[in-house]
Structure 1
Amino acid sequence: MTKNTVKEIYLLRSIACLCVVLVHSITRIVELYGTEISSHQEASFMTLILLLTFGTPVFIFLSEFLLSYSYSENIPDNFVKKRVQLILYPYISMGFIYAILMTHEANKLYEGIVLRTFIFFIIRNLLFGFYRHGYFIIVIFQFYLLHLALHKYLSRTSPKRVLLVSLFINLIYLGFFNFDDPVNIPYGQFLWRGLTWGSFLSWIFYFTLGFYSGKYYEAFIEKIKHYRSKVILLPFLSMVVVVYLYLSGILTINDSKRIDIVILLQV
């Protein structure tokens, strides 16, 4: 049976796209005119960027929401094959292309290590998506596989239990990377960044939230209507908390992998 189109998805997707565009536009402005703006203006720009980073988690949520809503009971036989062809193959090919470009740039500074440098960039790009925003593609693909493996289990398990456990895992995982330093081993910083950005554990709560919101869409909408005033108020309160933690220097990371962004999107 064909399901009705969820029109709200278009609005959420548009907002998320605008947030991502604004984040990179404002970041570019700060980079270009950093010497000409005051510290107060820079702090204002960076705070605005921080609040807009919720756009990336929204895409994770929407991706799983649409899967769960569209395939609430059965998954098509060509589910994996289709996504390998449309997503994984381009991801791999672009990883190689960017590795060539990165090797070319690196060779201008360090001659005689072309092959070793190329292999390093290939591994880095394919494992963690370290080219432009390739990491997001590999994260989405991980969630495709998780949906395939766990959708039956999640369907028969209490949503409250799964959401609480996934929220706990997400907070603990991000908290470790937010409040600790990279391990002091060869390529430790790259590994640290890759495990923070490219691992599904950094985004697991958004995945489970999207799954249950899509599977039980009607009940989800009724809950939103019932708690309408809280739904409107709580995001503003959580924004105050995020801004305070950032400006006070308690948590200086400025991207979507901050531990408090999970709370911001949740409310």
Structure 2
Amino acid sequence: MLNKSTIQKKRENLPELQLVRAFAILGVLSVHSTSYAATAMVESNYFFLYNFMNIFMKYGTPTFIFLSSFVLFYNYYERPLSKELIGGFYKKRLLYIIIPYTVFSIFYFTLLHVLYYPDRSLQDTILSFISKLLTGKAYTHLYFVFISIQFYLLFPIILWVFKKVPQLTKWAMPIGLAVQWAFILLNKYYLQVPNKGSWSLSYMAYFMLGAFIGIYYPKLKDWFVMSRANATSARMAGWIVLWISWATAGLAHVYIYYNSRLYGTQYNSTLYEFLWNVHTYLGTIVLLQLAFVVYRKAPRKLSGMFEKLGALSFGVYLIHPFFLLVYRQFPPQTGSSIITHMWYAGGFLTALFCSCIVVALTVRYVPFSWILFGNISSRKKVKPYIDKTSVAVNKH
């Protein structure tokens, strides 16, 4: 068993993870800001670009789940499992995840009620809210936090199993893929669970990938950090295969949606699942490698901006749909294609900058801001066994 000093030496700070969070939230904003354009602009000469931004950038949610798991297992795996540890874990989740989730569920549910259901009875309103709160459906993006909560419930159990049977940790990746695909296929042919994307089993591969890398990161670090010092023939071959496979799967993913939306081409639903899975699964590793490159090589001002965005990402995730909703109330009243394109681009910029400004100012000046946006101020870097960053959009 490693002693405490050895553990502390190995579990270094990982500020690069904030960059991965920044990349992930940019992906989410790209997908959400092009959701209308990807269908409305089918006749445009630039439809390929809207479709690309809407599909290729769909790595956000899987990356957040991967990061959340990575941080949890990185911080917790070598620690003695105790009631105090688990109690502290759930206390942080309650304060910094479930409370903000509940607050924003109330906010979005109330907003939609005022806009679209003002005549609904009080009883129906209450029942509807309870149902949506318990299923992550108060607004379209809150399913992600709902999934994260499910993983938080599972985490102590999986951690206990891995500590009890350490040999299983080496099989975490194939176990995750097997569970996820068993659920996908069972659901397709037998279960037919509605809104399967709101259930953690749909993302188990990413959670277990994060678990594997979090546990073995000290041994794997040299593979992730692409540098001249780490470059061996085997690693370089692995890096090339990884990036080519990721790009190929991503472009294929984009291509089938392009044909489907533009020409009505129909594909087997399993193909969509497969390409999305390969594209985003490999993408989590690519983004992690990219973060190390940007953190080391990019101008400090640029990497610092990504770090700040990563620190704000959970809050940005929660609030950005509100700004998109308001922005879309004022579409351009013109047939000019240039203005239309600018309007769609403006949606992305509005969601990004308005969200960042509101979250940053709230965290800085409003007492108890964690009620709205979680424990943002302390999520600047991953520290050894200091569990304040775990929702990887944290998520966390």
TM-score between the two structures when normalised by the length of structure 2: 0.55
Partner of 1:201: 201
- 1:190-244 Cα offsets, whole Å, 9 max, x none, are x712xx2321101111101001101110222344462222222221122233234
After TM superposition, the structure 1 stretch with the greater mean CA deviation from structure 2, 204-213 or 234-243, is 234-243
Which of the numbers 68, 85, 89 marks the counterpart of 2:95?
A: 85
Alignment of 1:52-131 (within 5 A): 52-74=57-79, 76=85, 77-108=87-118, 111=119, 113-131=121-139
Over alpha carbons, which structure has the higher Rg?
Answer: 2
Matched, 1:249 2:266: yes
Distance 1:7 1:81, change over 3 A: closer
Cα RMSD (Å): 3.0
Q: Which amino acid aligns with 1:229?
A: I
Partner of 1:188: none
Distance 1:251 1:125, change over 3 A: farther
Q: Give the number of equivalent residue pairs.
A: 249
* Contact 1:30–1:42 (Cα < 8 Å) also in 2: yes
- 1:62-102 Cα offsets, whole Å, 9 max, x none, are 11111111222226341111211121122223323433333
Partner of 1:144: 152
Amino-acid identity (%): 24
Distance 1:86 1:52, change over 3 A: same
The alpha-carbon deviation at position 40 of structure 1 amounts to 5.3
Matched, 1:228 2:239: yes
Distance 1:50 1:30, change over 3 A: closer
Q: Which amino acid aligns with 1:73?
A: E
Alignment of 1:179-190 (within 5 A): none
* Contact 2:56–2:251 (Cα < 8 Å) also in 1: no
Distance 1:150 1:112, change over 3 A: closer
* Contact 1:103–1:121 (Cα < 8 Å) also in 2: no
Q: Distance in 1 between matches of 2:138 and 2:100?
A: 15
Q: Which amino acid aligns with 2:53?
A: L
Q: Which amino acid aligns with 1:233?
A: I
Q: Distance in 1 between matches of 2:78 and 2:132?
A: 37
- 1:22-70 Cα offsets, whole Å, 9 max, x none, are 2222235557xx36x6255335412331110012110110111111112
Distance 1:205 1:112, change over 3 A: closer
Q: Distance in 2 between matches of 1:12 and 1:157?
A: 29
Partner of 2:211: 211
Which of the numbers 12, 25, 31 marks the counterpart of 2:33?
A: 25
Q: Which amino acid aligns with 1:250?
A: Y
Partner of 1:186: none
Q: Which amino acid aligns with 2:65?
A: I
Matched, 1:165 2:175: yes
Q: Distance in 2 between matches of 1:160 and 1:4?
A: 22
After TM superposition, the structure 1 stretch with the greater mean CA deviation from structure 2, 58-67 or 155-164, is 155-164
Q: Say which structure, 1 or 2, has more relative contact order (CA 8 Å, 6+ apart).
A: 2
Q: Distance in 1 between matches of 2:131 and 2:113?
A: 13
Q: Distance in 1 between matches of 2:144 and 2:52?
A: 23
Unaligned regions of 5+ residues in structure 2, if any?
Answer: 225-230, 260-264, 283-396
SS of the equivalent of 2:56 reads helix
Q: Distance in 2 between matches of 1:137 and 1:44?
A: 29
